[in-house]
Structure 1
Amino acid sequence: MNDSSQYDEMFINQTMGVEIESSSTVMTLIVAIIYPLIIIFSTVGNSIVILTVTRSTAMRTITNLFISNLAASDLLMSFVAAPVTPIVFHMKNWKLPTFLCKLLPVTMGVSVYVSTLTSTAIAADRYLVIVHPFRTRMSHSICGLIIAGVWLISVLISLPLGIYTKIGIDPRNNEPSCMESWPHPLSRPVSEKY
C-alpha cells in the first residue's frame, strides 16, 4: 500500500460526513425505514423499562436499577446519535451545525462507556451475590453512587472527542468535513485505548 492510499484510508476512518458511494437506492430506502423503526422501538422499549422500575417499588432491585441505567444510555443514543447518523453518512460534506460535529462523537462514546461499565457493575453484583450469598447485598445508595460514577467516568473519557473534533476541509475534495484533529499524533491512540 502506498503512502497516498494509506493517508486516504486513515482520513476516511477519522472523518464523519465523508461521501459514501451508494450504488443502490434500495439501500438508502432500507436505512430510511429501519433507522426510524429502531428509534421508535428503542424509545418506547427503554422508556417502559425506566418507568416500570421507577414506579414500582418491588421492581427497584439493584439489578433493575442497573438495567434502567442501560436503558437511559440507550435512550441517549436513540435521541442524539441515531437520528443524525444516517444523514451524516449520506452527505457529501458537513452541512449540519458545528455543535453536532462535537456532540455526536461524545454522545456515542458516553453511551458505549455507560453500557460497558454498567454491564460490568451488573456482573460484579451478580458475582458477589453468588460467591458470597450470606453477605449483605449492595444498598440502593451504593448502587446510585456506582451509577453516578459510571456516568462521570464515561463523560470524562469521552470529552476529548468533543474537544478535538472540528469542522475542517477534506483535502480530497476541498469540502467541509467533521473530523478529529488531535494536538499530537500520539494523542489519538492514547484516547482510543480507553
Structure 2
Amino acid sequence: METVTAVEDPLNATSAEDGGNSSAYIDYDAEQSVQIYFWGELATALVVYGLTFVIGFIGNVLILVAITGNRRMKSVTNTFLASLATADLTLICLCIPVKIAKLFSFTWTLGPVLCLGVHYIQTVTAICSVLTLTAISLERYYVILHPMKAQYICTRSQANRTVVAIWVLSFVLACPMLVAQVHISVGMPPVGFWCVRNVDIPALWRFNELYLLVVLLLAPTAVMATAYTCIVLEVWRVMQKRQHMTNQVPTSKSFGEDHALVLDDTVKEPVQRSRSVDDQATLQQLTRMMVAVVVFFLLCWAPLLIFNALQSLDVFPVHVPGPVKHLKTAFELMAYANSSVNPVVYGFMSRSFRESFQRSLCGQRQPHGMRRDASKSSNLTHLTSLRQPAAGAMA
C-alpha cells in the first residue's frame, strides 16, 4: 500500500496517517490501515509522549498545589507560573491522548469537531505560555530596574487581571487555526478522513505558519531578550559597584539613591546586611530560573515553527521524504516535551519549590520555622531590588 506524506503539525506526525494534498490522494486498504504498525517509528514517539504525559501531569499538578495551597507562595511571579502550569496541563490532558491514539491509525477517526477543536486548543496553550513568559520578563524588568514603580504596577491583583487578559487574548489569537486546519475525506469507499493543514489554499497555509512564527517566536523573543538583557546589565553594574565600594569606608550617603544600597550595606548591622544579601540572591536566583524557562521554551518550539514556515514557503517539499520527516517528527516531540520541562527546572533551581513539592508529596504542612524563608523566597515582588533606596531616603 502506498501513502503520501502530509503537511502535518504535532497532532499529525509519526502516525500511520500520511496525508497530503487533496488533489494527490491515493487509495488505501481500510483493513490494512488497522493491522500494520511501523514500530520503528512509533516506539520513540510513544516513549516521549508517555514520559511527557506522566512527568508533565504530576509536575504541573504539584506546581498548582504548591502555589494555591500555600499562602506564602502566592506572589506575583507565582501567579504567572500557575497560569503557565495550567496551560501545560491543558495541552497534556487534551492533546497528548489524542496524539497517542492517532499514532495507531492511517486516518482521522475522531470527527471534524475534535479535529479543529484539539488543534485550536493546542495553539491556545502555546500562545498562552509564551505570553505568560513575556509578562514575567516584564515583571522582572520593573522589579529590578524600576522598584518604586513595581510597588504599584507589579501587584497580585494586577497579575490576576493580566492572567485573565492573556487567556482571553490567546483564544482570540488562535482563531486562524480554525480555518487553516481542515477535516477532509480521502480514498474510495470505504471513505476515510484526514485532519491536515489546508495546503490546497497556499496563501492561507503560508499566512498561518508565518503568523504563528511571529506570534509564538519572533515578537515575544524580541521583548523577552530586551527585558532580560537590561536586567543582566543592571545586575552586573550594581555588582561592580558593590565590589568597588566594599573595599572602601563610606564617609557620607550623599552619592544619591542609586548608590544607596551599596553604601547602606557597608554600615548595616551584620544580621541586617546578611538578610539583604540573601534577599538579593533569592531575587537573582528567580531571575535565572525564569531565563532558563524561556530558553527551554525557545529551544523546544523554535525548530518546529521555523520548519513549518520554511515548508509553507516551499523551502521544503509538501510531501516530506523519509529523513526530513523524521527530523520534523523530532521537532514535534520537542515541542510537546516542553510541557514537562518547567517543573523540572523549578525543582532544580528553586529551593522554595523543592520544599513545596516535598511537602505536597508527603502531605505535610509547612513547618513554622520555615515560613519566614518561604515568604522571602515567594514574595519577591515586595523586595525593592538591587537599586533599593537607603532607609534614610525612604523615610
Query: Alpha-carbon deviations, 1:82-112, whole Å to 9, x = none?
Result: 1111332442111123222011211110111
Structure 1 residue 188: Cα displacement:
3.5
In 2, are the aligned partners of 1:19 and 1:89 still within 8 Å (CA)?
Answer: no
Q: Distance in 2 between matches of 1:181 and 1:24?
A: 26
CA drift of 1:113 comes to 0.4
TM-score by length of 2: 0.42
Deviations 1:47-71 (A, max 9, x none): 1101111111110111111111110
- 1:147 is aligned to 163
**For 2:8 and 2:53, how far apart are their aligned partners in 1?**
26
Q: Aligned with 1:19: secondary structure? A: coil
Q: Does structure 1 conserve the Cα–Cα contact (< 8 Å) formed by 2:180 and 2:205?
A: no
Q: Distance in 1 between matches of 2:59 and 2:156?
A: 24
Cα–Cα, structure 1 residues 76 and 45, in superposed 2: closer, same or farther, change >3 Å?
Answer: same
Query: How far apart are 1:163 and its partner, in Å?
Result: 4.6
Deviates more, 1:177-186 or 1:118-127: 177-186
Q: Which moved more, 1:109-118 or 1:175-184?
A: 175-184
Q: Does 1:19 align with 2:18?
A: yes
Q: Relative to 1, partners in 2 of residues 1:38 and 1:129: Cα closer, same or farther, differing over 3 Å?
A: same
Aligned pairs for 1:161-180 within 5 A? 161-170=177-186, 175-180=192-197
1:187 aligns with: 204
Show structure 1 runs of 5+ residues with no match: 1-7
RMSD: 2.9
* 1:3 corresponding residue in structure 2: none
Shift of 1:181: 4.0
Map 1:64-79 onto structure 2 (within 5 A).
64-79=78-93
What letter is aligned with 1:190?
Answer: F
Distance 2:159 2:43 in 1: 43
- Structure 1 residues 80 and 145 mapped into 2: Cα distance closer, same or farther (>3 Å)? same
Deviation at 1:33, TM superposition (A): 3.6
Structure 1's 188 and 28: CA in aligned 2 closer, same or farther, altered over 3 A? Answer: closer
State the TM-score, normalizing by the size of structure 1. Answer: 0.80
1:19-45 residue CA offsets vs partner (Å, 9 max, x unmatched)? 38x995244234334422321221111
Counterpart of 1:156 in structure 2 is 172
Greater Cα shift, 134-143 or 24-33:
24-33
Distance 1:190 1:162 in 2: 13
- What does residue 115 of structure 1 align with? 129
> Is the 2:180–2:208 Cα contact (8 Å) retained in structure 1?
no
Q: Does 1:53 align with 2:52?
A: no
Identity %: 21
1:93 pairs with one of 107, 126, 135? 107
Shift of 1:182: 8.5
Verify: 1:134 aligned to 2:181, yes or no.
no
The question of whether the paired residues in 1 share the 8 Å contact of 2:7 and 2:197 is answered with no
* Bigger Rg over Cα: 2
Relative to 1, partners in 2 of residues 1:96 and 1:120: Cα closer, same or farther, differing over 3 Å?
Answer: same
Tell me the residue number matched to 1:37.
51
1:30–1:189 distance in 2 versus 1, CA, 3 Å: closer
Q: Summarize the Cα distance change of 1:30–1:179 in structure 2 as closer, same or farther, 3 Å threshold.
A: closer
